[in-house]
Structure 1
Amino acid sequence: MTDRPFYVVLGPDGAGKSSAMTELATRLPGWRTLSTDDGLVGPGHALITELRRQVVQDVLPHLGTVYSADFLATLLQTAVVHLRDQVERHDTDVPLLMDSYYYKILAKCRLAGIDHNPMYTWWRSFPQPRAVVYVDVSPASAWRRSGDGARLNPLEYFGERPGWLGFESYQKSLRKLMLEEIRELPVTIIEEQPSVARTADAVAEVLTR
């Protein structure tokens, strides 16, 4: 644990977590929201946005041929260290809500075939949040939200191309690994909500109890 007021929102692909965080940024006065998503990256950190774009557009389409899984994990570590740095530099008087932290990246690295890596031990030594809010969604709903697979990237399904069975299997495995990673932390699970606004309502209620 850390003495900083630091919380994490976590969830599988398609849960609406990032959209809810964008809405929460205007709903929680006095809070700071932090993510590696474009809309929530702080000023002066354009490199994080650019690296994310390059991972999706250049590395993932050629994973296993031009680029190795180890190379991918090394790039993803830049996001993990960036988030750690922001926690350590954060004003202790301001509560901080962070998107996923290293938990989801670690789980996805493991699903990409890197089950053991010295980086994981380092990541697990980073400051831990006071609590995690886990925003859940069924694989079926997430599949529909992805346009039946049209908007997926290779780190969201098993197999050479998007398909329902590969997506469902991946998302169930991802959920299992993420919950395993946070099992020692206080966790509140929010069941699937019908809209971004309802998801934001549920997260805000947990955080402001």
Structure 2
Amino acid sequence: MPGPAFLVLLGPDYAGKSTVMRELAAGEPTWRLLSVDDEFLAPEHGVLSRLKSDLMADTLPAMGKHHSPDFVASLLQTAVVHLRDQVMDCGSHQPVVVDSYYYKILAKCRLVGATAHPVFDWWRGFPQPRRVLFLDVGPAAAWRRCGRGARANPLEHHGDRLDRESFTEFQDDLRATMLAEVAHLPVDVLPPADPPATVRRVREAVAREFA
């Protein structure tokens, strides 16, 4: 039996993936769009919203003090398994686009020092997409988009202190780590562009894969 057919939308922080997903949701009602953003979660999956809220408000600020990186990875695994379950529920003909899948979470866990390698190997055994669409953005543009750090969280910079240098270094490392994780797959790197142009390129890529 062939596995599920899907594409993954990937990219560094503040690359514009959420904007693209919202535009696709509004303009492509027959597509299936999978994400752990609240607006894409069904009411029966509200536990993910609650866990994410607790993670951002309580757990991440205490990482390295009261919670280990492995503990953070354990919480993030709920999002990974949810996306895996949703992918497995998809057919082979309906266009399916997944926001980041496990690739970005795995990369971030590695960068903050999580050592749960058996778990990472399990994730890597999940169904693989036909293609990855990598929305590229430079750290300078990402820094501006996050309000020069005002909206950044501890999974978006190195160390305890957030500044432009720690953010830039993390984003450079994140980009390289994600691209290494998907090196075995067909990857289209989409250069920075205005949202309508990016959405158009994503639509074109999905149309080719599901023609």
When the two structures are superposed, what TM-score results if normalisation uses the length of structure 2? 0.94
Other-structure match for 1:174: 174
Other-structure match for 2:190: 190
Q: RMSD of the alignment, in Å?
A: 1.3
Greater Cα shift, 196-205 or 71-80: 196-205
Deviations 1:60-105 (A, max 9, x none): 0100111111110000011101111111122333221100000000
Partners of 2:199 and 2:62 in 1: CA distance: 35
**Unaligned runs of at least 5 residues, structure 1:** none
Task: Specify the code of the residue in structure 2 equivalent to 1:204.
Answer: R
Measure how far apart 1:198 and its partner are.
2.6
Deviations 1:160-206 (A, max 9, x none): 23211001100000000000000010110100113x33322221122
Other-structure match for 1:78: 78
Measure how far apart 1:18 and its partner are.
1.2
Other-structure match for 2:34: 34
**Structure 1 segments of 4 or more deviating over 3 A?**
none
Partners of 2:176 and 2:147 in 1: CA distance: 24
CA contact (8 A) 1:20 1:200 kept: yes
Other-structure match for 1:200: 199
**Unaligned runs of at least 5 residues, structure 2:** none
Measure how far apart 1:28 and its partner are.
2.4
Other-structure match for 1:55: 55
Other-structure match for 2:4: 4
Secondary structure in 1 matching 2:43: coil
Measure how far apart 1:117 and its partner are.
1.6
Secondary structure in 1 matching 2:149: coil
Deviations 1:25-68 (A, max 9, x none): 12224211010011112331101111111111110010011111
Partners of 1:143 and 1:101 in 2: CA distance: 23
Greater Cα shift, 169-178 or 116-125: 116-125
When the two structures are superposed, what TM-score results if normalisation uses the length of structure 1? 0.95
Task: Specify the code of the residue in structure 2 equivalent to 1:201.
Answer: R
Other-structure match for 1:161: 161
Partners of 2:100 and 2:163 in 1: CA distance: 25
Partners of 1:92 and 1:158 in 2: CA distance: 40
How many aligned residue pairs are there? Answer: 207
Other-structure match for 2:87: 87
